[in-house]
């Protein structure tokens, strides 16, 4: 039997209707590592990335309802700020130029004891979320008090967030102790658990502020509820020395003994690590969140970032709170991380620009257990995207877009930001208007903080 002839002159398939087509001179998808595509388009539908392909092919295949032609821009996955205390934007500049423990005991903890409230946290977190979005951040891992107020602020602004349910041994205006913090935190999680841009984690403040019983409960709850663990670790030498005399071991060893060391763990700072501790973190698949500006400002030291990467530890980047950094600016952390890694390791090839961008995107996503949903520009992932305008005069000439972004550009060059396909920044400005009364409320908190320092 004669096989049927192939159809002649088949008309081309009609274009596929999609929500959004974004075209850019460069697309840095982060997967595969180091890739830099020219004249490509990202196709977005229902909040997800549907396709990544050359612009000409995209125009013939898709019929977008909206189009964003970025021109001489680089499109990267949205930045992931893997450690922040959003509400502390209200404490920016409140305790500058002090070492960590004096800063905490003389400034931050007394201010929190007097002023912490739902309203304080909501206002501070709103400020932080707006600052982060303008700076190209699309996801933040936050740890603070009043998780319901944090959640509302992130929902109000559209920034994707992991809300850390704080656990700390001492009472605050928010809670009476570890059991109370956990009960309140888990109730907030229940209230917001269906919000698609929110996730929750367990956030024991640090081994030096949380006892064994609470840490054991955190380890058990993390397994039971499938939650990540977000904690400060080995930030300063004095913290480790105090822990040694109180517990007879270094903090990481105690976390290991109590069952907190796993791929669920995002260990923030990890400035002071021995080789065996780096190997232990790598073996258990734990992540380190490197916060270079905060570590420098509090004179905590230099995290062994290049050695961590070389050992196979997943490294993310964080800003920490505005009280210990004073810029909630993750893009500037990519530059600082690269420069510091080179200086500390004595190796100019350490932490190249691609490594820094990876830590700020995919590394962050992995630290938060979100690597299947965000962190790279790949079909199926959420359309969390940041466009950086590389045509500015001060960024010329241009040889390598990744190096240009990390070493030369700043957050002032962030031109557009999408979270789950929703435009949150256009033309360098937030698409949402400033909430009514925000400026006056910030001024009110500033006056209260000033008067509490005087008395
Ligand atoms: Zn912190």
pLDDT in tens, 163-177: 999 999 999 999 999
pLDDT of residue 393: 93
Q: How far is the CA of 163 from the centre of ligand 1 (A)?
A: 14
97: left (phi over 0), alpha (psi -120 to 50) or beta: left
pLDDT of residue 123: 97
Q: How far is the CA of 135 from the centre of ligand 1 (A)?
A: 19
Q: How far is the CA of 283 from the centre of ligand 1 (A)?
A: 25
Residue 140: which pLDDT band, with cuts at 50, 70 and 90? very high
Q: How far is the CA of 42 from the centre of ligand 1 (A)?
A: 35
Q: How far is the CA of 233 from the centre of ligand 1 (A)?
A: 10
- Give the mean pLDDT of 80-101: 93
Ordered domains of the chain (ranges, CATH): 16-77+379-430 (2.30.40.10), 79-367 (3.20.20.140)
Is there a contact between 355 and 339 (Cβ–Cβ < 8 Å)? no
pLDDT of residue 1: 46
> Looking at the predicted structure, is the pLDDT value of residue 10 above 90?
no
> Looking at the predicted structure, is the pLDDT value of residue 5 above 60?
no
Contacts (Cβ under 8 Å, ≥6 apart) of 18: 43, 44, 45, 50, 62, 63, 64, 65
Better-scored residue on pLDDT, 248 or 10? 248
Q: How far is the CA of 83 from the centre of ligand 1 (A)?
A: 6
Q: How far is the CA of 232 from the centre of ligand 1 (A)?
A: 6
Total count of residues recorded for the chain:
455
Q: How far is the CA of 269 from the centre of ligand 1 (A)?
A: 8
Distance CA 284, CA 393 (A): 46
Q: How far is the CA of 100 from the centre of ligand 1 (A)?
A: 11
Q: How far is the CA of 294 from the centre of ligand 1 (A)?
A: 8
DSSP 444: H
DSSP 375: S
Is there a contact between 328 and 131 (Cβ–Cβ < 8 Å)? yes
pLDDT digits (tens, 9 = 90+) for 266-284: 999 999 999 999 999 999 9
**CA separation (Å) from 374 to 165, 369, 387?**
22, 10, 16
pTM: 0.96
Measured between its terminal Cα atoms, the distance across the chain in Å is 99
Q: How far is the CA of 105 from the centre of ligand 1 (A)?
A: 15
pLDDT of residue 11: 74
Distance CA 14, CA 347 (A): 54
Contacts (Cβ under 8 Å, ≥6 apart) of 121: 87, 144, 145, 146, 149, 150, 153
Mean pLDDT of all residues belonging to the chain: 95
Q: How far is the CA of 144 from the centre of ligand 1 (A)?
A: 9
Q: How far is the CA of 44 from the centre of ligand 1 (A)?
A: 34
Q: How far is the CA of 60 from the centre of ligand 1 (A)?
A: 48
Q: How far is the CA of 228 from the centre of ligand 1 (A)?
A: 16
Q: How far is the CA of 385 from the centre of ligand 1 (A)?
A: 26
Q: How far is the CA of 303 from the centre of ligand 1 (A)?
A: 14
Q: How far is the CA of 397 from the centre of ligand 1 (A)?
A: 37
Q: What percent of the chain has pLDDT over 90?
A: 92
> Looking at the predicted structure, is the pLDDT value of residue 392 above 70?
yes
Q: How far is the CA of 438 from the centre of ligand 1 (A)?
A: 25
Backbone angles phi, psi at 241, to 5 degrees: -65, -45
Distance CA 353, CA 29 (A): 14
Q: How far is the CA of 99 from the centre of ligand 1 (A)?
A: 14
pLDDT digits (tens, 9 = 90+) for 357-387: 999 999 999 999 999 999 999 999 999 999 9
pLDDT digits (tens, 9 = 90+) for 301-327: 999 999 999 999 999 999 999 999 999
Q: How far is the CA of 289 from the centre of ligand 1 (A)?
A: 10
Alpha-helical segments (H) within 46-167: 55-61, 100-102, 109-115, 118-134, 147-157
Is there a contact between 151 and 113 (Cβ–Cβ < 8 Å)? no
Looking up tokens 């003389």 gives 106
Q: How far is the CA of 204 from the centre of ligand 1 (A)?
A: 11
Q: How far is the CA of 313 from the centre of ligand 1 (A)?
A: 20
Q: How far is the CA of 224 from the centre of ligand 1 (A)?
A: 26
The per-residue b/e assignment along 58-75, b for 16 or more CB within 10 angstroms, e otherwise, is: bbebbebeeebebeebbb
> Looking at the predicted structure, is the pLDDT value of residue 3 above 70?
no
> Looking at the predicted structure, is the pLDDT value of residue 9 above 90?
no
Distance CA 170, CA 178 (A): 8
Q: Give 424: exposed, middle or buried? Use CB within 10 Å, 0-12, 13-18, 19+.
A: buried
């Amino acid at each position: 039997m004669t096989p049927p002839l192939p159809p002649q002159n088949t008309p081309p398939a009609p274009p596929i209707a999609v929500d959004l087509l974004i075209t850019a001179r460069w697309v840095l998808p982060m997967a595969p590592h180091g890739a830099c595509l020219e004249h490509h388009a990202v196709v977005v539908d229902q909040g997800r990335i549907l396709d990544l392909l050359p612009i000409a092919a995209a125009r013939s295949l898709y019929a977008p309802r909206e189009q964003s032609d970025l021109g001489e821009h680089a499109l990267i996955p949205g930045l992931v700020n893997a450690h922040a205390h959003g509400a502390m934007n209200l404490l920016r500049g409140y305790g500058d130029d002090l070492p960590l423990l004096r800063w905490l005991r003389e400034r931050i903890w007394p201010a929190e004891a007097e002023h912490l409230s739902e309203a304080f946290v909501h206002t501070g977190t709103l400020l932080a979320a707006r600052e982060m979005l303008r700076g190209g951040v699309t996801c933040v891992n936050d740890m603070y008090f009043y998780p319901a107020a944090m959640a509302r602020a992130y929902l109000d602004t559209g920034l994707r967030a992991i809300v850390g349910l704080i656990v700390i041994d001492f009472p605050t205006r928010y809670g009476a102790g570890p059991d109370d913090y956990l009960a309140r935190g888990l109730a907030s999680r229940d209230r917001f658990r269906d919000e698609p841009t929110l996730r929750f984690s367990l956030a024991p403040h640090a081994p030096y502020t949380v006892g064994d019983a609470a840490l054991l409960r955190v380890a058990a709850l993390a397994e039971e509820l499938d939650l990540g663990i977000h904690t400060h670790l080995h930030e300063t030498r004095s913290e480790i020395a105090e822990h040694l005399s109180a517990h007879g071991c270094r903090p990481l060893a105690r976390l290991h003994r109590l069952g907190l060391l796993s791929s669920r763990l995002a260990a923030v700072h990890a400035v002071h690590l021995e080789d065996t501790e780096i190997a232990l973190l790598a073996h258990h698949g734990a992540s380190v969140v490197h916060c270079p500006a905060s570590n420098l400002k509090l004179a905590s030291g230099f995290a062994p970032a290049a050695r961590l990467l070389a050992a196979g530890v997943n490294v993310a980047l964080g800003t920490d709170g505005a009280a210990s950094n004073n810029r909630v600016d993750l893009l500037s952390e990519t530059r600082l991380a690269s420069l510091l890694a080179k200086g500390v390791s004595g190796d100019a090839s350490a932490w190249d620009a691609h490594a820094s961008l990876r830590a700020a995107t995919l590394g962050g996503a992995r630290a938060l257990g979100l690597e299947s949903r965000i962190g790279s520009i790949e079909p199926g992932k959420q359309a969390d995207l940041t466009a950086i305008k590389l045509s500015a005069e001060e960024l010329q000439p241009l040889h390598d877009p990744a190096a240009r972004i990390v070493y030369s550009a700043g957050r002032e060059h962030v031109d557009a930001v999408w979270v789950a396909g929703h435009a949150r920044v256009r033309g360098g400005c937030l698409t949402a208007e400033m909430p009514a009364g925000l400026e006056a409320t910030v001024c009110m908190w500033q006056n209260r903080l000033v008067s509490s320092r005087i008395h």
